[in-house]
Structure 1
Amino acid sequence: MMLERNGYSVLTAMNGAKAINTALNNKIDLILMDIDLGGDIDGNKAAQEILSKKNVPVLFLTSHVGREMVEKVRKVTRYGYALKNTGEYVLLSSIEMVLDLYEAHEKTRESEDKFRSLVEDVSDIIFSINARGIFTYISPRVKHYTDFSPEDVIGRSFHEFIAKDDVPKAREQFEVIVNGGSFFEEYKWVKKTGDIVWFRSSISPVFINGEFQGFKGLLTDITFRKNSEEQMKTLLLEKEKLLRELNCLYNISKIMENSTGTLDSVLSEVVKLIPEALSYPNCSFAVISYKGKEYASSDYNVLDGVVERELAIGGDNSGKILIGYINDDTVCCEDFFDEKDRGFFETVAERTGKIIELFLARDELRKLEREVIEISERERRKIGHELHDSLGQILTGASFMLKTVGNQLAGTAPALTDRISEISGLVRDATLVCRQITRGLPLVNIQHNTLILALDQLAISTRDIFNINCEVESFGPIDVKDDFVSSQLYRITQEAVNNAVKHSGAKNIFITVENSPGILLSVRDDGCGYDTGKSDNGLGLSIMKYRTDLIGGEFSAFNDEESGFIVSVKVP
């Protein structure tokens, strides 16, 4: 099992009830919960039951990505979900991130609990200030927090002890209090050592006989909370950074899996994803350099020390990636990035190298496939010529001879004449079968400028043999780029026509070729349509799609709104 190979101990449960029992009766560090468990208890309910009794991180697994799924998961767990079949790296990265986040959350929760207990147990600092802002009293507790004794504070101004950038704020608040208000504010107090301690001040005015005399208030130490908030911000920033990196790597993986474009277009997509994973995406850039070409995420100036990673392709360093920040005042270098950044760069370089290797292998495979198909087409033509020139001619000659003999014996040997007529019928049937076979084996090479002629011959043959109306119509100059593309378009059309003849019960088949730009070929019939639910009907469509992929085209097949079926191929 993949998780066990990566050092995890795994317990499994096949339904919701067993999942609850396993989680509550074992020491569990993480639960991977399938949303669709089946039975009376789905993954969502099972997770809620477990979390009501046990604190454990839950990462949902699902194949759905809609808003409803996101909201459903959010109500149960803060750790989200991972898509099924996203690959080993993405799943392991998601697990590691959840464990890290859970640890961080636990630490934060523990810190908050300790902070709450501390605030509840300690006494606040009580103080009074006269109308001129001078301390007239402060409780002894001040020494515990600030190292200043009450004697150090009394007789001095409130503003002497707070940070300079808080002084304007304090002056404004004091003006509010003089006019009869009160306020709560947070200040940075400079300790005797020069360190900072945070206080939350609660101050209200003192009036005697209607005259303002000064202020009274409490100072509550909130240093721990403020530091926790800073730590929380740091953790959240790290979390966001991990999510950006994970999203970048995930999108690169999806490009590897789904791309049907050129290597140039794919590398142009990949390089734009990289800056989005860096700490400052708006001022970041990435460049992929491969075989003399550069693919840049944005305009940039190469500075000394920009981070560079080699692209290992087939064991050779055939390219490189440059990553850095666009900043005239700062030169990016290895030390500018932390260890996690450098690990991310290594992974991106590795993935990009794999993408290039994949495209090189795909191009080589298509080259071999093309050669195999061209050899197959030559053999088809050879067999077609042999059937047409040898067997076809022999059968035609035999049919003629039998007809001649039958005419000669007419009236003299009726039984023999009937037997000859029967044999002549069999020969005609054999000739028809031969014609049907040679129909699928073109007798001439289909070249880039003879596609329409070949399709016309296919239509004529279809009308003659199957007694089905088949028409060809072209619009604009039909300029196919090479013989191989023309041959594959013919074969796709032939397969679509055969399917219509055999399965649709069509009376009419229409073949259309137009310049759209590129070449748009469609085959439409008026038959019963195609049942997409039948798994045994897909071979012909699969062959047509395969041929379309070989020539870099787009394939579609669908039932017409009124009647019949349409096969469409677009070639750039």
Structure 2
Amino acid sequence: MKKRILLVEDDGIIAIANRRALENEGYEVQVAYTGESAVERMQEGCTESGCAFDLVLMDINLGSGMDGTEAAREILGFLDIPVVFLSSHTEPEVVRKTEQITSYGYVVKSSPATVLFASITMAFRLHDARMAAEKAERRNRILSHVANSRNTIIIITDRNRITTWVNDACEKLTGYTREELIGRNTGDLLQGAGTDPTVVAEIRRAMNVHQEYQGEILNYTKNGTPYRIDMDIQPVFDESGEHTHFVAIQRDITSR
């Protein structure tokens, strides 16, 4: 799918030239000739379900109305989108002013087209990297919250089902310390006389072919007390698709 750029430029001749150059590079381009119309186009084209643009290429001097820096501030106030500034100004104070707004790129108009194209490509990469980092941070916060939950048991094993990590809730429920669990197969350790062998076989069959398993099982604490858990076992794969470990998320349902 083509990347979509909103080009904000008050000079009609420059706008046409830049639009053609960008379209020849494979981008979809729409033009706004004032800062006010740029803000309006972004508000109309971007909703919770998606945005009509992927990047804004913003001229700084836009005539008598709102200038490019003001328009960029307005847009970034309601939308996270890369903005690359395009200007004839080379004064350090102008560049610093744009850096206080966003730092995806600043291109001098007299630069070759290759510089503009490279700056746009880099802006997309920087934005994608930042979004990925923020997504990973949100995921880590969620995982940290789950891992520290007193009601959710988490067991992580390697591909051979040998335990590599458990959370505090697992220690509390089973009566085993983390040191006693790590390095062992917790299934063999926690299952007992009342554990249904059919369920055990189903779990092993799913794990042998790296498939997820959801179900209930009867386990035993260190002192022999039976307890029933609802569990979700998920295989985890690396970027190359190779299976690396399992994550088991369990909930004590004994009192249910």
TM normalised by structure 2 equals 0.50
Counterpart for residue 98 of structure 1: 123
Aligned to 1:57: 82
Please give the per-residue CA displacement for 1:16-46, whole angstroms capped at 9, x wherever unaligned.
1111112222201110000111122000000
CA distance in 2 between partners of 1:140 and 1:192 (Å): 21
Matching of residues 448-467 of structure 1 within 5 Å:
none
Mapped to 2, the partners of 1:147 and 1:155 lie a distance apart of: 11
Point out the structure with the larger strand share.
2
The answer to whether the 8 A contact 1:29-1:56 is kept is yes
Give the match for residue 22 of structure 2: 3
Deviations 1:310-364 (A, max 9, x none): xxxxxxxxxxxxxxxxxxxxxxxxxxxxxxxxxxxxxxxxxxxxxxxxxxxxxxx
Structure 2: gaps of 5 or more residues: 1-19, 46-51, 158-163, 185-256
C-alpha separation between the residues in 2 aligned to 1:24 and 1:115?
32
Q: In structure 2, what residue type is equivalent to 1:6?
A: E
The residue number in structure 2 matching 1:12 is 31
Match of 1:76 in 2: 101
Pick from 33, 39, 50 the counterpart of residue 64 of structure 2: 39
> SS in structure 2 opposite 1:68?
helix
| Counterpart for residue 109 of structure 1 | 134
Aligned equivalents of 1:102, 1:155: Cα separation in 2: 45
Q: How big is the shift at 1:121?
A: 3.3
Q: CA contact under 8 A between 1:34 and 1:61: conserved in structure 2? A: yes
Q: Which amino acid counterpart does residue 192 of structure 1 have in structure 2? A: G
Match of 1:24 in 2: 43
Judging changes above 3 Å, is the alpha-carbon distance between structure 1 residues 28 and 155 closer, same or farther for their aligned structure 2 residues?
Answer: closer
1:63 partner letter: S
Q: What is the rounded CA distance, in whole Å, between the counterparts of 2:177 and 2:78 in structure 1?
A: 53
- The structural deviation recorded for 1:108 is 1.1
Alpha-carbon distance, 1:152 to partner: 6.2
Does 1:119 find its partner at 2:144? yes
SS in 2 for 1:12: strand
Question: Where in structure 2 are the equivalents of 1:488-567 lying within 5 Å?
Answer: none
Q: Is the 8 Å Cα contact of residues 16 and 39 (structure 1) preserved in structure 2?
A: no
Checking the alignment, whether the CA contact within 8 Å between 1:19 and 1:46 is kept in structure 2 is yes
Tell me the alpha carbon deviations over residues 218-268 of structure 1, each in whole angstroms, 9 at most, x when there is no partner: xxxxxxxxxxxxxxxxxxxxxxxxxxxxxxxxxxxxxxxxxxxxxxxxxxx
Which amino acid in the other structure matches residue 27 of structure 2? Y
d(CA) in 2 for partners of 1:98, 1:143: 40
For 1:141 and 1:5, locate their aligned partners in 2 and report how far apart those are by CA, in whole Å: 55
1:93 is paired with a residue of what secondary structure? Answer: helix
Deviation string 1:131-185 (CA, Å, 9 cap, x unpaired) is xxxxxxxx995744834685464589xxxxxxxxxxxxxxxxxxxxxxxxxxxxx
Runs of 4+ off more than 6 Å: none
Pairwise CA distance, 1:65: 2.5
Q: How many residues align?
A: 146
**1:52 maps to amino acid:** G
Shift of 1:66: 2.6
- The change in CA–CA distance for 1:74 and 1:192 in structure 2 (over 3 A counts) is farther
User: Aligned partners of 2:102 and 2:140: how far apart in 1?
Assistant: 25
Tell me: CA distance 1:54–1:29, structure 2 relative to 1, closer, same or farther (3 Å): same
How far did residue 124 of structure 1 move?
Answer: 6.2
1:192 is the counterpart of 2:217: no
Residue aligned with 2:58, SS = strand
Are the aligned partners of 2:88 and 2:108 in contact in 1 as well (CA < 8 Å)?
yes
CA–CA distance in structure 2, aligned partners of residues 8 and 123 of structure 1 = 46
Deviation per CA, 1:263-283, whole angstroms, max 9, x where unpaired?
Answer: xxxxxxxxxxxxxxxxxxxxx
Which SS does the other structure have where 1:38 is aligned? coil
Contact 1:123–1:141 (8 Å) recurs in 2: no
Kindly state the Cα deviation for residue 192 of structure 1 after the two structures are TM-superposed: 3.4
Give the Cα separation in 1 of the matches to 2:136 and 2:97. Answer: 29
d(CA) in 2 for partners of 1:96, 1:110: 21
Partner Cα separation in structure 1 for residue 25 and residue 152 of structure 2: 58
Letter in 1 for 2:57: L
- The answer (yes or no) to whether the contact 2:147–2:154 under 8 Å persists in 1 is no
Equivalent residue for 1:360? none
Closer/same/farther in 2, CA of residues 153 and 10 from structure 1, 3 Å limit: closer
Opposite residue 96 of structure 2, the aligned amino acid is: E
Call closer, same or farther: CA 1:39–1:192 in 2, change over 3 Å: farther
Q: Would the aligned equivalents of 2:146 and 2:152 in 1 still touch at CA under 8 Å?
A: no
Return closer, same or farther for 1:78/1:152 CA change in 2, 3 Å cut-off: same
* Amino acid paired to 1:120: H
Structure of greater Rg: 1
Which runs of no fewer than 5 residues in structure 1 stay unpaired? 126-138, 157-190, 194-572
Q: Secondary structure at the match of 2:86?
A: strand
Structure 1 Cα separation of the partners of residues 143 and 180 of structure 2: 30
